[in-house]
A = this chain, B = another copy of it.
Amino acid sequence: MAKKDNISSSVIQRLPRYYRFLNELDKEGITHVNSGELARRMRSTASQVRQDFNCFGEFGQQGIGYSVKSLTKEIENILGIKNRYPAILIGAGNIGTAIANHLTFENRCFKLIGIFDNDENKIGSDVADLTVQSITNISEFCKSNYVETAVLCVPKTAAADLAEQLYNLGIKSYWNFSHYDLKLLYPDIVVENVHLSDSLMQLCFRIKNNTK
């Protein structure tokens, strides 16, 4: 019944939010939800919700709504959540430590298998149940462990220095907090950039203009 080939990128972008709300409903013991209630939580419209779910072949039952569990499972399949892609993280500072904890304890998409830093004070310490390794080990580690994804929690200049090495080690996907534009040099990689300063500037604009 699924029509996955047709799912537009705008629907895909909304799926993580649906997933979060469905998880909440599940925790609250709610087994079925109608498009109106989901729309209210998403601050969307019931027709948008129905249209989104129709895209991947989920149709709510009249009077009962959607099954929370089966909808959750469908979204998990589409997004590939639970794939547990092996990931390494570079930069065990504050943001790196926060992200390492998030990866280890709050997500099922990735499995964090190594943390690296160049700071002698951090190497050997424990972060998110792993021991921080020297950045000089990274090449050997990636050759003896399959690594799908690198999480860059280093300053921009350090990311620039690391990029070629990681790319040559075969790492083709990145969760990038570094502000370094990896994609410019390596167009064949997959990158999800997190630019906290962009989010902050948007907030600034919205305060200035009182944009709700």
Contact = CB atoms under 8 A, between A and B. Distances in A.
Interface of A: 12-13, 15-17, 19-20, 41, 43, 78-81, 83, 85, 93-95, 97-99, 101-103, 106-107, 109-110, 148-149, 173, 175, 179, 181, 183-184, 187-190, 192, 194-212
Given A20-B198, A78-B205, A194-B196, 10 more contacts: A16-B202, A20-B179, A41-B181, A79-B205, A80-B209, A81-B201, A85-B204, A85-B207, A102-B197, A175-B203
A78 B20 CA distance: 33
Given A97-B94, A197-B106, A201-B15, A192 B179 contact: no
Given A12-B205, A41-B181, A208-B80, A194 B199 contact: yes
Contact of A107 (B19, B78, B109, B197): B197
Q: Pick the 4 closest A-B CB pairs, nearest first.
A: A80-B208, A94-B98, A16-B198, A95-B98
A188 B207 CA distance: 12
A20 to B, nearest CB: 7
**Tally of this chain's copies:** 2
13 contacts: A12-B202, A79-B201, A80-B204, A80-B207, A85-B207, A99-B196, A107-B197, A149-B203, A149-B207, A175-B200, A175-B203, A188-B212, A192-B206
A95 B110 CA distance: 19
A175 B184 CA distance: 29
Nearest to A75: B201
Contact of A201 (B19, B189, B190, B200): B19
A41 B41 CA distance: 37
Contact of A16 (B20, B95, B197): B197
B110 A200 contact: yes
Contacts of A173: 203, 206-207
